[in-house]
């Protein structure tokens, strides 16, 4: 196995241990000693790879962010390349919910990093939260696309709507994790919010008919927009 | 000064110190020693009043919750007893935003307690988050009232809408604190979401005209609903 791959595998093993630990006892439970024990390696090795606790948290946030993106991309892929925009947005929203152990841990980590960022501005630029603007732009682009394809109500302001949807997703995922709502209630909320964005078909002309009139180039630009987001999340600053 | 009042004043002095400390360095910076130094009293005195760190956090969350309720009630009072329902909901939403130093600290504390609750289920029942259900019921009651008064679109499901609004408020307040959005953007988002709930007036009959036809008893029941919420937040568990 080439050395680089080996290093990446080792780093992933360590950041996975961080996410498991943080999911059990919070970020305050993340120490080099505990991480080493959880990963089954030496403290010296964890230190060699990550140097500081801050760096360990940042790199783990980055790994969690990549995992969430992969999750979303995987859900989108199931819809095929021409899935309706509102269905795509639904997949995006659902991929931010704690529906299994992996997403549950990822979201707990995401919210914990957010809580640290409340009092430590140097932690606000981390992957998990620093890409908020790009995510708003992605959702806004999808909504504009939907308007062009006559699937989304063209009276809504795409940027405002994108900010609403993303803030809603943050609040809903938190309420599931804190057991104030269950997954069914939250899914109903997402569907209800998205249903409002749907364009009401014109009499005598279905949305699908209008859609066929619109060039298919626009679908391409969404895919490339997502790739930018995807690529940037894979960019390793270190 | 009677002894009881003196004790309450002392407790408030200590929980204020906790909120200031947590706003600067997070809940992990809240120790008996630091709290005592911040409040300018002895460590023994802090321990005598609150015994454990957990109790200190719980009682502070309760105090913060009461402060947020007072803030909301104060904003409502400015609207007068017959303010339109959507204006009332707007005041509720805005009272959950960090618009000054006090609300900023309160919301940081609220989100920090939420983050602790992610991995510590015993902290999920605290005032700040434990009353989520009651808040959903309050907002749903307001929406139903608005439907009865012909101010709110009667096709919306009041409970689902209440859950959406509250989750949105949590997400928006967090995005302001993390500097992903500013207050103007968030206020626009709230207004946009509320505008969708407004009932479109029937031709030839304004909502205000329909409203006059509806008995005023319903407004009373909202006030009493809020009082229940208000009272319960003032209830001091042991």
Question: What's the pLDDT tens digit per position in B42-64?
Answer: 999 999 999 999 999 999 999 99
Q: What pLDDT shows up at residue A217?
A: 42
| B112 lies within 8 A of chain A by CB | yes
Say if residue B115 is in the same domain as residue B33: no
User: Would you give the DSSP letter of residue B202?
Assistant: B
B212, part of any domain:
yes
| A94 lies within 8 A of chain B by CB | no
Q: Distance from B103 to chain A by nearest Cα, in Å?
A: 14
Q: pLDDT grade, residue A203 (50/70/90)?
A: low
A59, part of any domain:
no
Q: Which residues of A touch B196 (CB under 8 A)?
A: 196
A136, closest residue in chain B (CA to CA): B180
What tokens were used for A175? 């309420």
Q: pLDDT grade, residue B75 (50/70/90)?
A: confident
B57, part of any domain:
no
Note whether A175 contacts B170, CB cutoff 8 Å: yes
CA B46 – CA B39 distance, rounded (Å): 9
For all residues of chain B together, what is the average pLDDT? 84
Q: Work out the average pLDDT over B1-30.
A: 88
Say if residue B27 is in the same domain as residue B73: no
CA B184 – CA A181 distance, rounded (Å): 29
Q: Which residues of A touch B133 (CB under 8 A)?
A: 180
Question: What's the pLDDT tens digit per position in B98-139?
Answer: 999 999 999 999 999 999 999 988 887 666 666 778 889 999
Query: Does residue B227 carry a pLDDT above 70?
Result: no
CA B45 – CA B173 distance, rounded (Å): 35
B70, part of any domain:
yes
Say if residue B77 is in the same domain as residue B106: yes
Say if residue A32 is in the same domain as residue A72: no
A116, closest residue in chain B (CA to CA): B26
Say if residue B83 is in the same domain as residue B199: yes
Say if residue B4 is in the same domain as residue B106: no
Q: Distance from B53 to chain A by nearest Cα, in Å?
A: 15
Q: Produce one character per residue of B115-149: b if its CB has 16 or more CB atoms within 10 Å, e if not.
A: bbbbbeeebbebbbbbbbeebbbbbbbbbbbbbbb
Q: Distance from A68 to chain B by nearest Cα, in Å?
A: 18
Question: What's the pLDDT tens digit per position in A112-134?
Answer: 999 999 999 888 866 666 677 88
- Nearest in space to B97 (alpha carbons), one of B37, B171, B25: B171
Q: Burial of B238 by CB count in 10 Å (0-12 exposed, 13-18 middle, 19+ buried)? A: exposed
- For residue A152, what are the β-bridge partners? A198
Q: Output the domain CATH number for residue A146.
A: 1.10.357
Question: Which of B129, B157, B189 faces A180 most closely, judged by CB atoms?
Answer: B129
Q: Distance from B5 to chain A by nearest Cα, in Å?
A: 33
A188-193 contacts at long range (C-beta below 8 A, 24 or more positions apart): A188/B160, A189/B160, A189/B163, A189/B164, A189/B167, A190/A90, A190/A93, A190/A94, A191/A90, A192/B157, A192/B160, A192/B161, A192/B164, A193/A164, A193/A165, A193/A168, A193/B164
Say if residue B30 is in the same domain as residue B99: no
Query: Does residue A237 carry a pLDDT above 90?
Result: no
For A10, the domain range is 1-51
Note whether A192 contacts B24, CB cutoff 8 Å: no
A56, part of any domain:
no
CA B69 – CA B67 distance, rounded (Å): 5
A58, part of any domain:
no
Say if residue B214 is in the same domain as residue B126: yes
For all residues of chain A together, what is the average pLDDT? 84
Say if residue A46 is in the same domain as residue A153: no
| B170 lies within 8 A of chain A by CB | yes
Q: Which residues of A touch B167 (CB under 8 A)?
A: 168, 171-172, 174-175, 181, 186, 189
Q: What pLDDT shows up at residue B223?
A: 43
Interacting residues of A157 by C-beta distance below 8 A, sequence separation 6+ = B192
- Classify B26 as helix, strand or coil: coil
Note whether B119 contacts A157, CB cutoff 8 Å: no
Q: Output the domain CATH number for residue B18.
A: 1.10.10
Say if residue B77 is in the same domain as residue B170: yes
Q: Which residue matches tokens 């732009």?
A: A137
Note whether A178 contacts B117, CB cutoff 8 Å: yes
B44, part of any domain:
yes
- The answer to whether residues A86 and A151 touch, using CB atoms and an 8 Å cutoff, is yes
Query: Does residue A226 carry a pLDDT above 60?
Result: no
A57, part of any domain:
no
Other C-beta atoms closer than 10 Å to the C-beta of A24 total: 13
* Stretch 131-150 of chain B: residues touching chain A, C-beta under 8 Å: 132-133
Say if residue A212 is in the same domain as residue A144: yes
| A43 lies within 8 A of chain B by CB | no
Q: Which residue matches tokens 């709110």?
A: B152
| B68 lies within 8 A of chain A by CB | no
Q: How many domains does chain A have?
A: 2
């Amino acid at each position: 196995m080439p050395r680089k791959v080996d290093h990446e595998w080792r780093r992933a093993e360590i950041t996975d241990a961080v996410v498991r630990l943080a999911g059990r006892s919070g970020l305050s439970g993340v120490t080099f000693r505990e991480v080493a024990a959880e990963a089954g390696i030496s403290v010296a090795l964890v230190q060699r790879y990550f140097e500081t606790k801050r760096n360990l948290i940042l790199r783990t946030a980055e790994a969690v962010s990549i995992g969430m993106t992969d999750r979303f991309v995987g859900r989108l892929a199931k819809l095929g390349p021409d899935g309706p925009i509102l269905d795509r947005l639904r997949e995006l929203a659902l991929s931010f919910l704690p529906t299994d152990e992996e997403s549950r841990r990822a979201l707990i980590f995401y919210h914990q990093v957010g809580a640290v960022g409340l009092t430590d501005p140097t932690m606000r630029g981390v992957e998990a939260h620093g890409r908020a603007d790009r995510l708003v732009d992605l959702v806004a682009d999808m909504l504009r696309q939907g308007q062009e394809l006559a699937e989304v109500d063209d009276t809504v302001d795409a940027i405002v709507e994108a900010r609403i949807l993303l803030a809603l997703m943050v609040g809903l995922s938190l309420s599931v994790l804190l057991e104030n709502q269950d997954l069914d209630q939250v899914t109903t909320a997402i569907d209800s919010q998205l249903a409002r964005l749907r364009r009401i078909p014109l009499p005598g002309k279905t949305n699908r008919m209008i859609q066929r009139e619109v060039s298919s180039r626009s679908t391409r630009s969404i895919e490339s927009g997502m790739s930018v987001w995807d690529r940037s999340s894979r960019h390793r600053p270190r």
